[in-house]
Amino acid sequence: MMEMVLDRISRNSRKLCKALCLWFKNNILITSSKSCIITGMIFTAVLLLFTMISRASFLLLDNASKWLLLAVALVLPLIIGLEIAYTIKVKAEYAKKIFSVVLIFLLPFLTITMTECLNCIFIYDMTYLGFFANYVLILLFYFLVFSLSGSIKLCIFIINPFLYLFALAHAYIVDFRGTPFLPMDFSGITTAMNVAGTYNFKILYNVIIATYLLIFIMVLGIKIKTPKFNAIVKITLRSFMGAFFAVLISLFYFTTVFADAGVKPDFWNQTRGYKNYGFVFSFFCNTKYLFMSVPNGYAAEEVGNYVSENATAYNEPTVNTPKSAPNIICIMNESLADMKVLGEFSTNEDYMPFMHSLNENTIRGNLYVPVIGAGTSNTEFEFLTGNSVAFLPSGSNAYMLYIKNPMASLVSTLEAQGYSSVAFHPYYASGWHRTSVYEYFGFDRFISLENLIDTSVLQEYSDSGEGPDYLQSLIDSYYPDRQNMLIRQYISDSYNYDTIIDNYENRDKSKPYFIFNVTMQNHGGYTVSSSNFNECISITSGEKYYNKASKYLSLVKASDNAFEGLINYFSAVKEPTIICMFGDHQPSIETEFISSIMGVDSLSDLTKEQEQQRHITPFYIWANYDIEEQYIEKISSNYLSSLLLKTAGLKLTEYNKYLLNLSKTLPVIDTVGYIDNQNVYYRWSEDTEYSDTLKKYEKIQYNNVFDNVNKKTDMFYLNGFTINTVVDGEEE
């Protein structure tokens, strides 16, 4: 009996094979020409040669898949060559139409493979929801173009290069700074262009494979022809696709249907989200949250009550107040971090010996900042205003998007008490819109790179396309007395602090002095070496050499030396002076190094405690007179300026008092989540006993930043103070 069944199956299979062969013979035609074959051979040869030249990008991978990836990069040129050399034609008109419809539904698979290759994941790495969401979204893009053009060819030619370029930008942004490409990054395009030349745009293995996939798809687009449908079918098909696109997009942007179903970004770990849900979906989903919405239950008249409740509860401590208001120097040090907060490793010498030893008349500790690897101005925003980036749309930048009017800050609080105010950043003034932002904060003056180096010298360096040594030669030529001005291509911390000292010595002595300084020396681009950079620190633990990490730690050592010089100078100054120095974020160095010292296989699998570790930088509040020494284990950057004002014995706004009282309960509030005074860690997705407290903070911040009509100014400003404007372009 079994033999009869097997025999029947065998005969049916042979009949099916014969039928398929006959169908292909009657309906499929494979054609070629001599020119196509030659072109295919040339393409194959060129791409194979390029792969062999770039093979190091594959072989340097520290995993077993490097050989498989290299094999894929060698096979794809052969497939592309065959695709160019031969053309498959469908003879029957009905078959053409069926094939075209099927193709539109299959094309997203190719597009996803291309974009996720640039995202450094395979399709099987994504969650089912992630894959399905990417598929539907890309299909929607195809539907949109087809509904407008009626051309499959245009669908391929428009959608794929567009998504390729976005995914390519993502690949390099992740390589440079370690965090994903978000829609909000467009607001910082000027800043990105300013520093782009400092990075090494090496050929990445995933870029090679994705580029070959794009070529394959584009050749397919050249070969394919849209079949001719009759008018009724054409109108119906295009109308359906257009309507389907419009309905789903409307539901996504203007309702919570998709969000309630879980179709939303991984706000608190975008890196994990891009891995689980793919690049196209994650990037597109974030666009919904570009604009700030009014918090649920917000009422401006209640904000004053929220602040008053906490401000009244705040008991102002007794501090050692000098006879005159102390000078205040605030330094946000670019990428300054003690990487040992992540885990133990050894080096040939201590990379920050002075900072590790600084205790006398010092308050120090761990500062929790909102960003990793980039986004300097968000930490700056939190420090100067006391507001939290956690209440802004995920990945957004406050300076670029939201500061469009005068805003209360540390600047206004100090100026209300008679201080002069200077902002100093030794890089281009245009970065992060600082020129206009500093005006809205009310700084008297803004000193930037253009005030330190003649713009013609900067332009000559920019036009040359040369590295740091060329800029150093220009500085040696134009400014022979400025021996310590540069480390790599950036203003050194040492010269930065000399500029602060010079500005202090030439200040308006009738007023107490305040300067806010954002340094530049330690900025990313840690593959660059130069003759003016002493790479003195090496990592001695582990078997692998980490080039970026070693260079970075050498920069930290230079920062440590420079900070010691600044402290030594003001130790001898008779006028009471307080220096507050902190790091803006941890650096973007090798993820393998970070994973190894944190003891994890992937940074996408961190616990909430480990995620918080990546947001820690050091802070120091030092005075040249007696203050009570203190070590603060945890404090987030939104509280730091209020702590500084309290330490200096200066008047506090109601908002400052509110924040200091809140910090007793929730010492850390950042973009990962929050930590309470019992050292319990929470994510924002959790509903906790602090949820109502945090919602009140969010509403207070909304009133401060966004509600210009009903703003409770008496809560954020000292009585009667108004913001002055800066004088743009004033020379040093």
Is 393's pLDDT higher than 90? no
Paired strand residues for 683: 673
Residue 44, phi then psi, degrees to nearest 5: -60, -45
State pLDDT tens for residues 309-338: 777 767 776 666 777 899 999 999 999 999
Structural domain includes residue 12? no
Mean pLDDT for the chain? 86
pLDDT for residue 700: 94
pLDDT for residue 659: 96
Query: Are 285 and 309 members of one domain?
Result: no
Is 106's pLDDT higher than 90? no
Query: Are 664 and 572 members of one domain?
Result: yes
Q: Average pLDDT for residues 652-678, to the nearest whole number?
A: 95
Structural domain includes residue 295? no
Q: Average pLDDT for residues 379-398, to the nearest whole number?
A: 90
pLDDT for residue 43: 85
Residues 6+ apart with CB under 8 A from 583: 332, 333, 334, 335, 336, 337, 367, 369, 617, 618, 619
DSSP code for 424: E
- 64 pLDDT band (50/70/90 cuts)? low
Structural domain includes residue 418? yes
Question: What is the C-alpha R_g of the chain?
Answer: 30
Query: Are 359 and 261 members of one domain?
Result: no
Is 191's pLDDT higher than 60? no
Query: Are 305 and 333 members of one domain?
Result: yes
Query: Are 255 and 321 members of one domain?
Result: no
Query: Are 371 and 329 members of one domain?
Result: yes
Centre a 10 Å sphere on the Cβ of residue 687 and count the other Cβ atoms it contains. Answer: 7
- 726 pLDDT band (50/70/90 cuts)? very low
Contact 341, 348 (CB under 8 A): no
pLDDT for residue 185: 67
Token digits for 647?
């330490």
Is 400's pLDDT higher than 80? no
Identify the helix (H) or strand (E) that includes residue 538: none
Structural domain includes residue 172? yes
**Which domain-ending residue is among 268, 290, 312?**
290
CA angle 279, 283, 284 (to 5 degrees): 115
Q: What share of the chain is helix, strand, coil (3-state, %, to 5)?
A: 55, 10, 35
State pLDDT tens for residues 217-268: 998 888 887 777 778 878 888 888 889 888 888 887 777 667 656 666 765 4
Per cent of the chain over pLDDT 90 is 45
CA distances from 73 to 48, 56, 115, 208 (A): 8, 12, 16, 7
CA angle 184, 641, 635 (to 5 degrees): 80
- Quickly list DSSP for 549-567: HHHHHHHHHHHHHHHHHHH
Is 560's pLDDT higher than 60? yes
Token digits for 113?
């493979």
CA distances from 638 to 79, 366, 464, 582, 643 (A): 55, 13, 41, 13, 10
State pLDDT tens for residues 121-163: 776 677 777 788 888 888 889 889 988 988 888 888 999 999 9
- 650 pLDDT band (50/70/90 cuts)? very high
pLDDT for residue 198: 56
State pLDDT tens for residues 13-33: 677 777 666 766 666 677 778
Structural domain includes residue 467? no
Structural domain includes residue 469? no
Query: Are 256 and 119 members of one domain?
Result: yes
State pLDDT tens for residues 134-145: 888 888 898 899
pLDDT for residue 522: 95
Q: Is residue 458 exposed (0-12), middle (13-18) or buried (19+ Cβ within 10 Å)? A: middle
Query: Are 639 and 712 members of one domain?
Result: yes
Q: CA 636, 637, 643, 648: dihedral to nearest 10 degrees?
A: 150
- 732 pLDDT band (50/70/90 cuts)? very low
pLDDT for residue 259: 65
Query: Are 259 and 157 members of one domain?
Result: yes
Token digits for 488?
């790599």
**Which domain-ending residue is among 290, 317, 333?**
290
pLDDT for residue 566: 98
How many domains, the chain? 3
Total length of the chain:
732
What pTM did the predictor assign?
A: 0.72
Q: Domain of 452: which CATH number?
A: 3.40.720.10
pLDDT for residue 194: 57
Distance CA 622, CA 363 (A): 6
Query: Are 257 and 372 members of one domain?
Result: no
Query: Is the Cα torsion angle 568, 570, 573, 577 positive or negative in sign?
Result: negative
Is 731's pLDDT higher than 50? no
Query: Are 348 and 281 members of one domain?
Result: no
Contact 349, 526 (CB under 8 A): no
Structural domain includes residue 724? no
Helices (H) and strands (E) in the chain, counts: 30, 15
Query: Are 159 and 180 members of one domain?
Result: yes
Paired strand residues for 420: 513
Q: Which domain holds residue 74?
A: 17-91
Per cent of the chain over pLDDT 70 is 87
3-class SS at 114?
helix
Structural domain includes residue 481? no
- 190 pLDDT band (50/70/90 cuts)? low
**Which domain-ending residue is among 290, 315, 347?**
290
